[in-house]
Amino acid sequence: MTTTSKQLPTVGVIGLGAMGQGMAGSLRRAAYPLRVCDVRHGAAQAFAQEGGVACATPAELARGADIVVSVVVNAEQTEAVLFGEHGAAAAMAPGALFVMCSTVDPHASVALERRLNDLGLLYLDAPISGGAAKAASGQMTMMTAGRPEAYARAGGVLEAMAAKVYRLGDQAGNGSKVKIINQLLAGVHIAAAAEAMALGLREGVDAAALYEVITHSAGNSWMFENRMEHVLRGDYTPLSAVDIFVKDLGLVLDTARASKFPLPLSATAHQMFMQASTAGYGREDDAAVIKIFPGIALPPAP
């Protein structure tokens, strides 16, 4: 029997940034009844013009949603979405599901699960990866952990948003742990890519030629190929900003510090992003970490 849209749960997406907008679009294509909310109310209204309901607050969204998907930046914003003024938690119906897609301290995710379960609500620890393009095409990755009841409540919603949905445990925490390990690699790779390109520029190598050779050689990485293209274009429009890696590598180091585990490469990359942020590049694309290197002429903006 074919499932119709009337039988599908209503999903609310809070946060229509680079990732959230694409995820909401994937849900709309999959015919889920959809509600959206963003601090920029105009963004929600613009999205809803092609389908869905724009809501002014998380509480308004939650009152009509069976599943609430939160795609905000950090733990503080997640706290505000749930428990701030006009927060979603008090408006969610008993048994409703909250899907937390932010990169946060794993302990914070564990605490959120406990608080929501105490309110009779379900919770999934579900950080995401893949970038805006993969989010828009439904091809991103979700790293999830939660109770079996939460997965049962989610139904096909996760698969509608992501090509890969990894189930990493029956309670919150492991999804966030795996995500920060991914961010360790992503941040170190971006920093290393910037360092390599900066050295090439310093030594007078043509930037486009260097990019062509490296992307067809053993030294290539997905981050080099993706982020150094931004450098070649001179386009630092933020898809993932420098300050995101100040935060995320900080979470990596905090987690390792708790168990006295050394992470020398992560610490160096974190300092590089901190230096870029302090120099005024915090809201630029994370490829702007290359701007900390002296004595190089970067490709100009178009």
d(CA 134, CA 22): 8
CB atoms < 10 A from the CB of 25, how many? Answer: 22
Q: Which of 207, 169, 168 is nearest to 287 (CA)?
A: 207
Residue type, 24: A
d(CA 76, CA 41): 20
d(CA 122, CA 115): 10
Q: What number of residues does the chain have? A: 302
Contact at 8 Å (CB) between 281 and 301? no
> Residue 200 phi/psi, 5° resolution?
-60, -45
Element (H, E) at 273: helix 264-276
CA angle (46 as vertex; 44, 52 as ends), nearest 5: 65
Residue with tokens 């090509």: 163
CA angle (283 as vertex; 27, 100 as ends), nearest 5: 35
Annotated catalytic residues are 179
